Amino acid sequence: MRRELLIVLFLLLITVGVASRERSMEYEHAEPGEFMERNSQSAPPFPVRAENASKFASAAGEGDSNCPPPTILIHDVTPYYSRELEAVVEVLDKYNYSSRTVLFVIPRFDPPYHGDRWDLRRNGDFVGYLHSLEKEGYRIELHGYEHTYHEFNCSYEVAMEKLKSATELMGKVGFENMSLFLPPAWALSNDSIRAIGEFNLTIVLPDYFIPPNGSKMRVWNREYTWYVGEGKAEERFLVAAHDYNATCREGIPFYLSIHPQVIVHGDGLKVLEKFLRWLKKE
Ligand SMILES: [Zn+2]
């Protein structure tokens, strides 16, 4: 009897351990909206959750033809996710979004796990692919250096060192003059914000951008394709359409964040297609 109790306790501990590990991983790659809800002191102006999407079906209505088209921000651009990126690019090309899409590149992805395997200098084919996308109009910008856990929540000195390594590496594979910086997992410190500014890069966050002069530019930057289940494309699309119309009315620029390795699951790509098709009809 006592032994059975011990086994039950042991299993319970394992379950709790796995659950908390999953939570921390989810946090690391939290979608922009979720991050803001958990971490921002001010609530987002249009907090629409997928569960409530049907309520906003009528609000989405027809797109407003006076609204500027959204800008699409692709996170985690690395040869490690090259096939997933190609799948997203296929959809974007179909709707002629190349000149409205920014590719946030990781210069060398996660060396603690992968060593030099995904260093751009060792992935000539992928670099060639990025150059061909750049010729098509896609913009190449910076997404950290190695994309390790909360990489830019660090001191000024460490941030300067990482930015120097990142921009030098990008320069070696032919990408110069970057102007945007998307911090991995949105993690920053006051010191790293200062360092990024000194590299003349504008920081991209869910609710605002921080230009090198340290001011704040209000934006709406959200992800609507975060693990979309099968059959859930319509309701997620409606949330995106609602937010797009609402931000347009407020005069806030709308940015659509996408993680290639996540959007390919379930109905993620369908949400993107629905949204782009809807925008085209305007
Ligand atoms: Zn990332």
Q: Is residue 235 part of a domain?
A: yes
Distance 263 CA to ligand 1 centre (A): 13
Tokens 């670099």 locate to: 127
Distance 55 CA to ligand 1 centre (A): 32
Tokens 């937010």 locate to: 243
Distance 149 CA to ligand 1 centre (A): 10
Q: Is residue 4 part of a domain?
A: no
What is the model's pLDDT at position 3?
59
What is the model's pLDDT at position 150?
96
Side-chain-facing half-sphere of 145: CA atoms under 13 Å: 19
Count how many domains the chain has: 1
Q: Are 258 and 223 in contact (CB under 8 A)?
A: yes
Q: Which domain holds residue 148?
A: 35-40+50-281
Q: Is residue 17 part of a domain?
A: no
Q: Is residue 26 part of a domain?
A: no
What is the model's pLDDT at position 55?
40
What is the model's pLDDT at position 66?
78
Q: Are 233 and 263 in contact (CB under 8 A)?
A: no
Distance 194 CA to ligand 1 centre (A): 20
Distance 217 CA to ligand 1 centre (A): 21
Q: Is residue 231 part of a domain?
A: yes
Longest distance between any two alpha carbons in the chain, whole Å: 71
**Paired tokens of 133:** 């996308």
Q: Is residue 255 part of a domain?
A: yes
Q: What is the CATH number of the domain that holds 264?
A: 3.20.20.370
What is the model's pLDDT at position 92?
98
Distance 27 CA to ligand 1 centre (A): 12
Which amino acid is residue 207, in one-letter code?
D
Which amino acid is residue 208, in one-letter code?
Y
Distance 5 CA to ligand 1 centre (A): 43
Q: Is residue 1 part of a domain?
A: no
Distance 185 CA to ligand 1 centre (A): 6
Q: What is the pLDDT along the chain (282 residues), one digit of tens a residue?
A: 455 655 554 544 444 443 333 333 333 343 333 333 223 323 333 333 333 434 443 344 555 567 899 999 999 999 999 999 999 999 999 999 999 999 999 999 999 999 999 999 999 999 999 999 999 999 999 999 999 999 999 999 999 999 999 999 999 999 999 999 999 999 999 999 999 999 999 999 999 999 999 999 999 999 999 999 999 999 999 999 999 999 999 999 999 999 999 999 999 999 999 999 999 986
Q: Is residue 118 part of a domain?
A: yes
